[in-house]
């Protein structure tokens, strides 16, 4: 596993220290263990998790601007936990409406020694943060319109939405409210992943 992670990180041009790499491997092992009882992800093979969950999350890291982020519909902490491991100087709020997912996130924080993560059990439209975010992340939303409709109260004036998508559909942009502008559409290169990935940044 470690050799594969090293290879994937090199291919993606992501620099991490040995402790961070170990935390990522421990996260995969935790996911694999919990998945047997709680069915957190449809990906069953730890080697596949490295590509589809860990690298797929980490490739967003270079584009994050600011220090305070929320991962909406985080599921088992994706992309929030890998990003928190890779960015110890940034803080991530991980929000989900399912208790078993937030229980997993809490457990992972403890096991991995992460102190830059706050888990929140809530529906996104009911969550009222004390402080607005530099960035709102999600790889769970069906459409950009849903993401902006449900999360409009979360970013700062200067904040961004970061939507992780598969194939990019231009008609999604046309459905957006006029008050949102697309800042960037970035094709992401995830080593060994079959299929397209895009990061769409809105303001």
* Distance from C-alpha of 115 to C-alpha of 110, rounded to nearest angstrom: 9
Which residues define the annotated binding site for S-adenosyl-L-methionine?
73, 78, 124-125, 139
pLDDT digits (tens, 9 = 90+) for 4-21: 999 999 999 999 999 999
Q: Which residues are annotated as a binding site?
A: 73, 78, 124-125, 139
pLDDT digits (tens, 9 = 90+) for 164-198: 999 888 888 889 999 999 999 999 999 999 889 99
- Phi-psi map region of 159: left, alpha, beta (phi>0 left; psi -120 to 50 alpha): beta
What one-character DSSP code corresponds to residue 66? S
Q: 1-202: CATH homologous superfamily?
A: Vaccinia Virus protein VP39 (3.40.50.150)
Measuring CA to CA, which residue among 52, 39, 32 is closest to residue 111?
Answer: 32
Closest CA to 96 of 88, 108, 85: 108
Contacts of 142 (CB under 8 A, 6+ apart): none
Q: Which stretches of the chain drop beneath a pLDDT of 70?
A: none
């Amino acid at each position: 596993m470690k050799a594969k992670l090293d290879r994937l990180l090199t291919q993606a041009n992501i620099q991490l220290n040995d402790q961070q790499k170990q935390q990522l491997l421990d996260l995969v092992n935790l996911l694999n263990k919990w998945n047997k009882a709680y069915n957190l992800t449809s990906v069953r093979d730890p080697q596949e998790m490295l590509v589809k969950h860990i690298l797929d999350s980490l490739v967003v890291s270079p584009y994050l601007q600011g220090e305070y982020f929320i991962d909406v519909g985080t599921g088992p902490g994706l992309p929030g936990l890998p990003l928190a491991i890779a960015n110890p100087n940034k803080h991530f709020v991980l929000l989900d409406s399912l208790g078993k997912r937030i229980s997993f996130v809490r457990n992972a924080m403890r096991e991995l020694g992460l102190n830059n993560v706050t888990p929140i059990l809530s529906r996104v439209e009911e969550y009222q943060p004390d402080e607005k975010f530099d960035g709102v992340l999600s790889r769970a939303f069906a459409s950009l319109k849903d993401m902006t409709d449900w999360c409009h109260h979360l970013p700062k004036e200067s904040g961004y939405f970061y939507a992780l998508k598969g194939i990019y559909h231009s008609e999604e942009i046309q459905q957006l409210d006029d008050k949102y502008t697309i800042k960037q559409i970035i094709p992401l290169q995830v080593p060994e992943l079959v299929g397209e990935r895009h990061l769409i940044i809105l303001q």
